[in-house]
Each structure stands twice: as C-alpha cells, then as structure tokens.
Amino acid sequence: MPNFLFRCAKVAARTFARGSAACRAAGAAVVVLLTLSLTACGGDASGNGGNEKPVVLTTFTVLADVARNVAGDKLTVESITKAGAEIHGYEPTPGDIRKASKADLILDNGLNLEAWFGQFVEGLDVPHAVVSDGVQVMDISEDSYQGKPNPHAWMSPVNVQIYVDNMVKAFSELDPDNAEVFRSNGDAYKAELQAVQDEMKTRLAGVPEPQRALVTCEGAFSYLARDAGLREVYIWAVNAEQQATPQQITRAIEYVKANKVPAVFCESTVSDAPMQQVVGATGAKFGGTLYVDSLSEADGPVPTYLDLIRHDADVITKALAGASAKASP
Ligand SMILES: [Zn+2]
C-alpha cells in the first residue's frame, strides 16, 4: 500500500462518529471514547457537523470526475483547480489552502504533474493518495525533461482503471462502512473505461497510415498515441515557462512539411499561437482543440473524462482521416 499517507486523526474521528449510533446501545464506554476522540481532533475541523459526507479534494477536474464515479453519493468530491485551469504550474490561493485544510482526503496525480503539490500539502494535516501509483510509466523522450516520467498517464483509459483501484483503496480507508459501494462503483466504471478505450482505438484505426501523426502543442498524448498506434510529435514536452522556443517551433514545422501532416492540434489550457505559426508555415490545417489537462465547463464539449477521450478521438480522426474535414474552428 505505497504512497498512502494517512496522517490525521480526523479520519479516525469520523469512523467513530459514523459508528456511534450502533455503539450507543453497546454502552457508555463507547460514547466516552467517541467524545475523547473528537476532542483529541479538535472537533470536526470541516465544520460539517457530524453527519455530513467526508470531503475529497482532487488537484484537477479530470481526477474529480473519475473520483465522483467511484464515490457515488457517499463522498463529496471537489477539484482544487477549476475547468480550464493550467495544472502544471498552478499557484494555489489562500482559499485553496483553507479548503484543503478542511478536507478529509486529497488526491493528486503524481509523476510530477502538479509541480506545486509538495509544498501545498507540506503544511496540511490531511492525508493524501497518489492515484497514478502502479501505472506503467512512459518517459519523456525530448527536451530538458528527457528521461523524466510523462505525467499524463490518464490519457490511457486503461491506466485510469488503475487510478480507480487506488481511489477505491483510499476511499475505503477513509470510509470503511462504504467500502463495498466503492468497489462496486469502481468495477462498473472500469467497464466503462474499457469500453471507451476500445471505442477510441477503433475510431483512430480509421486514420490511414501516412496520416498517423499526432502533432500537438504539449507532449501530453504519449499514452494515447501508444494505445492507438499514432506517432506523437509536439512543440514542447511539458507546459512550463520556457515552452515554444523558436527551435521547438522550427522542429515541428520541419516535421509537418517532411511528412505532409494534414492537420495539427493544440490543447484547451494553453495558447494555440505557436501552433498557428506551424499552420502558417506549412499549410497544414488546424485540426481543433484537444482536451487533456482539464475538462470543460459542464455545458462545454467535455464535461466528463469519458467525453474527453471520445471528443479527442473524434477531433483527431476527423482532421487526419478526412481531408474532407468538415469543420474546425
Ligand atoms: Zn499537461
């Protein structure tokens, strides 16, 4: 059970609180124990009162959606960053820290995705779990990040099945009474993940061999490209300050020209200006906006993780396979 750091007595307090109705009949000793344990924890730090659901905080919207599928109606799940936010270099606000200090569990992706996370949780007395734990990691092959793990492991729905297992484990420790519910929800959602994985691969199999190059702004699609058998090319490896240098843009332009790539893409959380330079210099089409580091708002194109995978597979296939390309913004 690596990486599950349970440091707070608050979970214990909740466990006692939840069991208290049954325990009351068992005698005063248990009531005394309950009182003592709550006192030891300084009362209910979440300010929820004893009957509210435990609060799980995730670092970004993709994890929040996956976690909600596992939690069902047993836990309250929220995301620290909002839809559309840049996740790698996010700067937490005092409000984020306040919110996190009242949470019962925090989930992060790990693999150095959230550069800010270590410092963020350092001063917090709240347990956290790394959901990518156990995933077969792909290394970044270029730039200054060469050899470091590519953090975007969720871009393979098969990997997200492992995320789900880690969430089931963490939620069951947080709320043992509902462990069976989490397991059952997790199993049902894993079946959906497998279905969307199969659907994605089938869809992308429709792109003819010469066009099977996925050119994006960030190197965030390594896992999806591996699963779907696409060649991955990107302007920069990981979203950071030094992205889109002239050399990086030139490299992408040369690749697109040499391989006659029909369409290129960029992601929703970064400016597509560098990719528009590639478009201008090559005559390739801008194939559309892909989602990876964030979901859209609820009324946008990808309100859920399953929508994200379907949307990206659809946009990529239409732009690369259909020279007919009906439409891209
Ligand atoms: Zn990213």
| Structure confidence by residue, pLDDT tens digits, 148-188 | 999 999 999 999 999 999 999 999 999 999 999 999 999 99
Question: What's the mean per-residue pLDDT of the chain?
Answer: 86
What is the distance in A from the centroid of ligand 1 to the CA of 29? 52
CATH class held by domain 200-321: alpha beta
Task: Say if CB 263 and CB 286 are below 8 A apart.
Answer: yes
Q: Decide if pLDDT at 189 tops 80.
A: yes
Q: Which residues pair with 224 in a beta bridge?
A: none
**How much distance in Å is there from the Cα of 217 to the middle of ligand 1?**
10
133: CA distance to ligand 1 center in Å? Answer: 18
Strands 263-267 and 285-290: parallel
Helices marked H in 207-270 — which ranges? 222-228, 246-259
Q: What is the pLDDT of residue 259?
A: 96
Quote the ligand 1 centre to 295 CA distance (angstroms): 12
User: Model pTM?
Assistant: 0.83
Distance from the CA of 270 to the center of ligand 1, in angstroms?
A: 9
Q: What is the pLDDT of residues 109-118, one digit of tens each?
A: 999 999 999 9
Cα 309 to middle of ligand 1, angstroms: 15
Distance in Å, CA 238 to ligand 1 centroid:
6
pLDDT at 320 over 70: yes
Classify 98 as helix, strand or coil: helix
The ranges of the chain annotated as CATH 3.40.50.1980 are 4-135+149-178, 200-321
Residue 219: per-residue pLDDT: 95
Q: How far is the CA of 17 from the centre of ligand 1 (A)?
A: 40
Tokens at residue 138, please?
């792909």
For 135: left if phi > 0, alpha if psi spans -120 to 50, otherwise beta; the answer is beta
Round to whole Å and give the CA distance between 105 and 78: 11
**Ligand 1 center to 321 CA (angstroms):** 25
Find how far residue 16's CA is from the centre of its chain: 32
Ligand 1 center–CA 150 separation, angstroms:
9
Residue 196 pLDDT more than 60?
yes
Q: Is the pLDDT of residue 47 over 70?
A: no
pLDDT class for 280, splitting at 50, 70, 90?
very high
Q: How many residues does the chain have?
A: 329
First-to-last C-alpha distance (Å) of the chain: 46
Q: At residue 283, what are phi and psi to the nearest 5 degrees?
A: 85, 0
- Tokens, residue 297: 């708002």
Predicted local confidence at residue 46, as pLDDT:
45
User: What separation in Å is there between the alpha carbon of 174 and the centre of ligand 1?
Assistant: 29
Residue 284 C-alpha to ligand 1 middle, in angstroms? Answer: 23
Please give the distance, rounded to the nearest whole angstrom, from the Cα atom of residue 172 to the centre of ligand 1: 29
Q: Which three-class secondary structure state does DSSP give residue 262?
A: coil
Check residues 32 and 290 and name the one with the higher pLDDT. Answer: 290
Tell me: pLDDT of 241 over 90.
Answer: no
For 4-135+149-178, the fitting CATH number among 3.40.50.1980, 3.30.310.50, 3.20.20.390, 3.30.70.3460 is 3.40.50.1980
Ligand 1 center–CA 274 separation, angstroms:
16
pLDDT given at position 8: 33
Mean pLDDT of 137-146: 88
- Cross-strand partners of 286: 264
Q: How far is the CA of 254 from the centre of ligand 1 (A)?
A: 23
Q: How far is the centre of ligand 1, averaged over its atoms, from the C-alpha of 2 (Å)? A: 25
Distance between CA atoms of residues 106 and 80, nearest Å: 10
Nearest Cα to 128, choosing from 138, 118, 136? Answer: 118
| Poorest-pLDDT segment among 30-34, 204-208, 259-263 | 30-34
32, pLDDT greater than 60: no
Ligand 1: distance of its center to the CA of 89 in Å?
A: 10
Return the pLDDT at 185.
98
| pLDDT value of residue 36 | 36
Beta strands in 42-132 (DSSP E): 55-58, 76-79, 105-108, 128-130
pLDDT band at 147 (very low <50, low <70, confident <90, very high): very high
Q: Quick one: pLDDT band at residue 39, thresholds 50, 70, 90?
A: very low
